[in-house]
Structure 1
Amino acid sequence: MDVSDLLIETYDRLPDLVRAAVDGLTPEQLRWAPGEGANSVGWLVWHLTRVQDHHVADLLDAEQIWTSGDWAGRFGLVADPHDTGYGHTPTQVAGVRPESAQALIDYYGAVSTRTRSFLAGLRPADLDRIVDESWDPPVSLGVRLVSIADDDTQHAGQAAYVRGLLEAR
Structure 2
Amino acid sequence: MGSVFSFFSETLTECRAVGRFVAVTMSLMLGILFRLMSGQAGRKDRADVPERGILQQNVQCMDTLQLAYDALRLRITNVFPDQVRAAVNALTDEQIWWRPNESSNSIGNIVLHLSGSLDHYLNHNLGGLDFTRDRPAEFNERRTIPKAELLARFDEMVANAQRTFDNLTIERLGEPSPEPRMATIVFEDIVNIGVHVANHAGQILWIAKMLEAGAIDEVWMRTHKDHVWKPKA
Q: TM-score range by the shorter chain?
A: 0.7 to 0.9
Q: What residue is the counterpart of 1:54 in the other structure?
A: 120
SS in 2 for 1:13: helix
- Over residues 22-73 of structure 1, what are the superposed CA-to-partner deviations in whole Å (9 max), with x where a residue is unaligned? 1143332221112341111111111111100111212223212xxxxxxxxx
- Over residues 59-99 of structure 1, what are the superposed CA-to-partner deviations in whole Å (9 max), with x where a residue is unaligned? 223212xxxxxxxxxxxxxxxx33224xx7xxx73524352
Task: Tell me, in whole angstroms, the C-alpha distance in 1 between the residues paired with 2:169 and 2:141.
Answer: 40
Cα pair distance change 1:96/1:143, threshold 3 Å: farther
Residue 82 of structure 1 pairs with residue 149 of structure 2: no
Q: What residue is the counterpart of 1:143 in the other structure?
A: 188
Task: Tell me, in whole angstroms, the C-alpha distance in 2 between the residues paired with 1:99 and 1:35.
Answer: 18
Q: What residue is the counterpart of 2:103 in the other structure?
A: 37
CA RMSD of the aligned region, Å?
A: 2.4
Cα pair distance change 1:57/1:164, threshold 3 Å: same
Q: What residue is the counterpart of 2:36 in the other structure?
A: none
Residue 95 of structure 1 pairs with residue 141 of structure 2: yes
User: Which of 170, 177, 180 lines up with 1:131 in the alignment?
Assistant: 177
Show structure 2 runs of 5+ residues with no match: 1-62, 214-233
Q: What residue is the counterpart of 2:72 in the other structure?
A: 7
Give the aligned residue type for 1:83.
Answer: D
Task: Tell me, in whole angstroms, the C-alpha distance in 1 between the residues paired with 2:202 and 2:92.
Answer: 19
Show structure 1 runs of 5+ residues with no match: 65-80
Task: Tell me, in whole angstroms, the C-alpha distance in 2 between the residues paired with 1:133 and 1:47.
Answer: 18
Structure 1 ranges of 4+ moved more than 4 A = none
Residue 63 of structure 1 pairs with residue 108 of structure 2: no
Cα pair distance change 1:47/1:98, threshold 3 Å: farther
- TM-score of the aligned structures, taking structure 1 as reference length: 0.73
**Number of equivalences:** 146
Shift of the alpha carbon at 1:9?
1.6
Shift of the alpha carbon at 1:131?
2.5
Higher helix fraction (1 or 2): 2
Q: Retained in 2: the 8 A contact 1:24–1:101? A: no
User: Which of 130, 134, 158 lines up with 1:112 in the alignment?
Assistant: 158
Q: Which of 1 and 2 has higher RCO (CA within 8 Å, sep 6+)?
A: 1
Task: Tell me, in whole angstroms, the C-alpha distance in 1 between the residues paired with 2:170 and 2:158.
Answer: 21
Q: Retained in 2: the 8 A contact 1:5–1:120? A: no
SS in 2 for 1:61: coil
- TM-score of the aligned structures, taking structure 2 as reference length: 0.55
